[in-house]
C-alpha cells in the first residue's frame, strides 16, 4: 500500500494515546509555524523513551560506582559465641614430664573449653584483583551499548516523525485540491439553477449538479478529517497533547519540499559509512567487543588475588560461667596477607572460551547479513526515488491538461452547446489526476526517507 493511500484511505486511530502526553514545556512551545527540525527537536525532548535512556545512563554510572566499592576498605564488627559440648580428649603420659610421678603415670587431658566467645573488628582490603578490574571495564562498556540503543531509538523517532510530517503536507495539498473542486461544483450548481429559471435547462441538470456538489462536499469533509488526524499524529510523535491540534500548522508547502528533491542525486552505497551510522549494524560490533571483555574477565579471574586483613578484639575461653567469668577475657589481634589461586579454573578455561568464540562468529555473520540488507534497501529506495521523480513531472502535466479539459467543458456548457455529463467526467478525471500526483509525491518523499534510513542518516 502506498504512502498516500495509507494516510488518506485508512485514518490513524491514535487519539486515545495522545491524551496521556502532556508536559509543561510543550505548552509553552509555539506550534503555529513548525519546521521539521523543530518538530524533531520537540520529539527528542518530550518522548518518554528518550527520558528512559537518560535514566538508563545514570543506572550504568551507578553500577560502575557500585563495582568500585569492592576496592574500598571493608570493616566488619563481629560477635561469636560457641558452646563445645563434645571436646576431644587424649591420654597423655604425664609421668614422663614430671619426675615426682611414676614414669608410667598417664592422665586424660581435654583440649579446649566448654565455652568460647570472640568480639572484635575485622578489616580487609583488596590489594590486587585482576578479575574485579576486568569486571569494572565490562560494566563501563555497558554505557556504549546503551548509547547505541539510544541512537536506534532516536532514528525510530525521526523516521516516524518524518512520516507524520509528510502525511500532513500531503493532507494540506489534498484539502486544497478538494476545496477548489467544491468551489467549482458550487459554481456549476448556480449556473444550472440560473439556466433552469431561464428555461435553458431542465430540472434533471439541476439534480445532477446538486449530486455532484454533495459528492465534492463529502470528499472535502473526509479530507479535512484526515488532516486533523494527521495533525494529531504529528503532535503525538512530538510528545505534545492533541488538545493543541487547533494551534498546529507546518511551515512550508509540499511543493517547496519537492523542489529540494528535484536536483538531488542519490550517491552510491557506502558500506563503511552505513556500518558506522546504523545502530542495527553497530550492535553486532559492540556485542563482539562485549564478548571479548567477558572473555578477558574470565581470564582475569584465573589470576591470583591478594588481600590484606587485620583483626583486633577480645577472646573468651572458660569452663565456668560463660562470658562473665572473672579474668576469662583477653585481648587478641592479628594481621596478615591472603592469596587465592583458582586452580580448577585453569582446566575449565577452554570450555568458557568456546561459547564466546561461537557468539563472535554468529555476530560476524549477522553483521554481514544486516549490511547486505541495508545495501538492498538502499538500492530499492534509489530505484523508487528515480522512478517517482520522473513520473512526478508527468503527473503535474496531466493535472494541467485535466484542468484545461474541465475549463473547456464548463465553457461549452455555459455557452449552451455542451452537456452536464461532459463537465462531470472532466471533474472526475481532474480528481483522479490530482490523486495520482499526490500518490507519486508521497512515493517520492518515502523513497528519499528510505534512502536516508538505509544509510543511517535520518537526522
Q: Which three cell numbers stand for residue 25?
A: 514545556
Decide if 196 is inside a domain.
yes
pLDDT reading at 383 higher than 90:
yes
> Which has more confidence, 11 or 242?
242
Decide if 126 is inside a domain.
no
Mean predicted confidence (pLDDT) in 85-112: 76
Decide if 121 is inside a domain.
no
pLDDT at 326: 67
HEC string of the chain equals CCHHHHHHHCCCCCHHHHCCCCCHHHHCCCCCCECHHHHHHHHHHHCHHHHHHHHHHHHHHHHHHHHHHHHCCEEEEEEEEEECCCCCEEEECHHHHCCCCCCCCCEEEECCCCEEEEEEEEEEEEEECHHHHHHHHHHHHHHHHHHHHHHHHHHHHHHHHHHHHHHHHHHHHHHHHHHHHHHHHHHHHHHHHHHHHCCCCCHHHHHHHHHHHHHHHHHHHHHHHHHHHHHHHHHHHHCCCHHHHHHCCECCCHHHHHHCCCCCCCCCCCHHHHHHHCHHHHHHHHHHHHHHHHHHHHHHCCCCEEEEEEEEEEEEEECCCCCCCCCCEEEEEEEEEEEECCCCHHHHHHHHHHHHHHHHHHHHHHHHHHHHHHHHHHHHHHHHHHHHHHHHHHHHHHHHHHHHHHHHHHHHHHCCCCCHHHHHHHHHHHHHHHHHHHHHHHHHHHHHHHHHHHHCCCC
pLDDT at 384: 94
Q: Which three cell numbers stand for residue 331?
A: 585481648
Mean predicted confidence (pLDDT) in 165-174: 92
Local confidence band at 159 (pLDDT 50, 70, 90 cut-offs)? very high
pLDDT reading at 413 higher than 80:
no
pLDDT at 284: 93
Mean predicted confidence (pLDDT) in 16-25: 34
Q: What is the pLDDT of residues 435-459, one digit of tens each?
A: 999 999 999 999 999 999 999 888 7
Mean of pLDDT over the chain: 84
| Integer Cα distance of 365 and 358 in angstroms | 11
Would you say 167 and 177 are in contact if contact means Cβ atoms under 8 Å apart?
Answer: no
Decide if 337 is inside a domain.
no
pLDDT at 328: 73
Decide if 124 is inside a domain.
no
pLDDT reading at 158 higher than 90:
yes
pLDDT at 110: 75
Q: What percent of the chain has pLDDT over 70?
A: 90
pLDDT at 13: 31
- Candidate from 39-53, 77-91, 122-136 with smallest mean pLDDT: 77-91
pLDDT reading at 165 higher than 50:
yes
Local confidence band at 347 (pLDDT 50, 70, 90 cut-offs)? low
Local confidence band at 321 (pLDDT 50, 70, 90 cut-offs)? low
Mean predicted confidence (pLDDT) in 20-49: 72
Query: For residue 30, what is the domain's CATH number?
Result: 1.20.1600.10
Local confidence band at 323 (pLDDT 50, 70, 90 cut-offs)? low
Q: What is the pLDDT of residues 214-259, one digit of tens each?
A: 999 999 999 999 999 999 999 999 988 888 888 888 888 888 899 8
> Which has more confidence, 185 or 111?
185
Decide if 119 is inside a domain.
no
Decide if 58 is inside a domain.
yes
pLDDT at 282: 93
Domain count, the chain: 1
Domain encompassing residue 429 = 3-74+145-303+344-455
> Which has more confidence, 283 or 355?
283
pLDDT at 122: 92
Local confidence band at 348 (pLDDT 50, 70, 90 cut-offs)? low
pLDDT at 14: 34
Decide if 90 is inside a domain.
no
pLDDT at 4: 40
Q: What percent of the chain has pLDDT over 90?
A: 34
Amino acid at each position: 500500500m502506498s504512502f498516500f493511500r495509507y494516510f488518506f484511505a485508512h485514518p490513524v486511530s491514535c487519539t486515545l494515546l495522545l491524551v496521556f502526553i502532556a508536559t509543561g514545556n510543550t505548552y509553552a512551545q509555539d506550534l503555529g509555524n513548525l519546521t521539521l527540525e523543530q518538530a524533531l527537536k520537540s520529539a527528542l525532548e518530550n518522548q518518554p523513551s528518550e527520558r528512559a535512556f537518560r535514566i538508563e545512563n545514570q543506572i550504568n554510572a551507578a553500577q560502575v560506582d557500585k563495582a568500585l566499592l569492592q576496592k574500598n576498605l571493608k570493616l566488619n564488627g563481629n560477635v561469636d559465641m560457641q558452646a563445645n559440648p563434645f571436646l576431644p580428649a587424649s591420654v597423655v603420659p604425664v609421668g614422663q614430664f614430671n619426675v615426682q610421678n611414676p614414669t608410667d603415670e598417664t592422665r586424660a587431658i581435654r583440649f579446649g573449653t566448654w565455652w568460647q566467645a570472640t568480639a572484635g573488628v575485622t578489616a580487609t582490603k583488596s590489594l590486587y584483583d585482576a578479575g574485579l578490574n576486568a569486571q569494572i571495564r565490562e560494566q563501563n562498556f555497558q554505557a556504549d551499548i546503551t548509547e547505541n540503543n539510544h541512537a536506534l531509538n532516536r532514528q525510530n523517532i525521526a523516521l516516524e516523525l518524518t512520516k507524520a510530517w509528510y502525511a500532513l503536507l500531503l493532507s494540506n495539498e489534498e484539502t486544497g485540491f478538494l476545496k477548489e473542486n467544491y468551489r467549482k461544483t458550487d459554481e456549476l450548481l448556480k449556473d444550472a439553477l440560473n439556466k433552469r429559471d431561464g428555461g435553458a435547462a431542465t430540472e434533471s441538470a439541476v439534480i445532477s449538479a446538486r449530486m455532484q456538489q454533495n459528492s465534492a462536499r463529502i470528499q472535502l469533509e473526509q479530507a479535512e478529517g484526515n488532516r486533523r488526524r494527521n495533525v494529531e499524529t504529528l503532535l503525538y510523535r512530538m510528545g505534545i497533547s492533541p488538545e493543541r491540534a487547533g494551534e498546529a500548522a507546518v511551515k512550508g508547502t509540499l511543493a517547496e519540499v519537492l523542489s529540494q528533491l528535484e536536483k538531488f542525486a542519490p550517491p552510491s552505497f557506502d558500506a563503511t559509512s552505513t556500518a558506522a551510522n546504523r545502530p542495527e549494524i553497530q550492535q553486532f560490533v559492540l556485542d563482539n567487543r562485549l564478548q571479548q571483555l567477558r572473555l578477558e574477565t574470565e581470564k582475569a579471574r584465573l589470576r591470583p588475588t591478594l588481600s590484606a586483613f587485620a583483626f583486633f578484639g577480645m577472646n573468651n575461653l572458660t569452663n565456668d560461667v560463660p562470658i562473665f567469668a572473672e579474668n576469662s577475657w583477653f585481648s587478641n589481634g592479628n594481621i596478615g596477607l591472603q592469596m587465592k589461586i583458582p586452580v580448577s579454573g585453569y582446566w575449565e578455561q577452554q570450555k568458557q572460551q568456546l561459547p564466546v568464540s561461537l557468539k563472535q562468529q554468529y555476530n560476524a555473520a549477522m553483521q554481514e547479513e544486516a549490511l547486505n540488507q541495508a545495501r538492498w534497501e538502499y538500492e530499492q529506495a534509489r530505484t523508487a526515488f528515480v522512478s517517482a521523480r520522473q513520473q512526478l513531472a508527468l503527473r503535474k502535466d496531466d493535472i494541467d491538461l485535466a484542468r484545461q479539459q474541465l475549463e473547456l467543458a464548463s465553457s461549452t456548457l455555459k455557452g449552451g452547446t455542451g452537456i452536464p455529463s461532459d463537465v462531470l467526467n472532466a471533474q472526475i478525471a481532474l480528481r483522479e489526476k490530482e490523486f495520482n500526483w499526490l500518490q507519486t509525491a508521497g512515493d517520492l518523499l518515502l523513497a528519499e526517507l528510505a534512502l536516508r534510513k538505509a544509510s543511517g542518516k535520518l537526522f
